[in-house]
Structure 1
């Protein structure tokens, strides 16, 4: 007997997660990243293929009505210029290379 293909689309259990629970987890993640400013965006990109700026883009994609600068301020907890001046360190070539390789995996 041959196995019939599954015609129902597979569901992702994440889609069943209550929105309030998901929102609370998201806020906890953002607050954690605000506290851990030693985790540089370039390092996050090199390891995971996303960073704080990606989160800002994702909230805009999800319907946040503010502009890019407002979304980044929401995620960073301060304006982009202040973030860069007080938190961001210059990237090394090694970090840039690692980020490029990691982001290529996102496609």
Structure 2
């Protein structure tokens, strides 16, 4: 019997998955030039989504605490020092991308 991709992902050792997740978060902390709006437009998720997923997975803190964890700083500081205003084009790409998420 062959496992499908979802089953294979569920079979992934939690230590390996956690290490990969931490590497992803650290990569996103380093690459602050990759704006959340661009991540949303390309992949339908961003740093804030990751923080929300952490809370949904059982993190004992609230969304603000999870976002601080993912951003590596308070969300307000991130917005003030790292986030550029979104263009109309970026918003349009994000909306098109998010429409694809409804198919999940």
For Structure 1 versus Structure 2, the TM-score category normalised by the shorter chain is over 0.9
The alpha carbon displacement at 1:12 in A equals 1.3
Rounded to whole Å, the distance in 2 between the matches of 1:37 and 1:28 is 15
Structure 1's consecutive aligned runs of 4 or more residues displaced over 3 angstroms after TM superposition are none
CA distances 1:41-89 after superposition (whole Å, capped 9, x unpaired): 0000000000000000000010001001000000000001100000000
CA distances 1:2-56 after superposition (whole Å, capped 9, x unpaired): xxxxxxxx66100010000000000000000000000000000000000000000
Q: How many residues align?
A: 99
The answer for the alignment partner of 1:21 in structure 2 is 16
Structure showing greater Rg: 1
Q: Gaps (5+ residues) in structure 1?
A: 1-9
The answer for the alignment partner of 2:38 in structure 1 is 43
The answer for the alignment partner of 1:92 in structure 2 is 87
Rounded to whole Å, the distance in 1 between the matches of 2:23 and 2:56 is 20
SS of the aligned residue for 1:105 comes to helix
State the TM-score, normalized to the length of structure 2. Answer: 0.92
State the TM-score, normalized to the length of structure 1. Answer: 0.90
The answer for the alignment partner of 1:106 in structure 2 is 101
Rounded to whole Å, the distance in 2 between the matches of 1:28 and 1:96 is 28
RMSD between superposed Cα atoms in Å:
1.3
Rounded to whole Å, the distance in 2 between the matches of 1:69 and 1:60 is 10
SS of the aligned residue for 1:12 comes to helix
More helix by share: 2
The answer for the alignment partner of 2:60 in structure 1 is 65
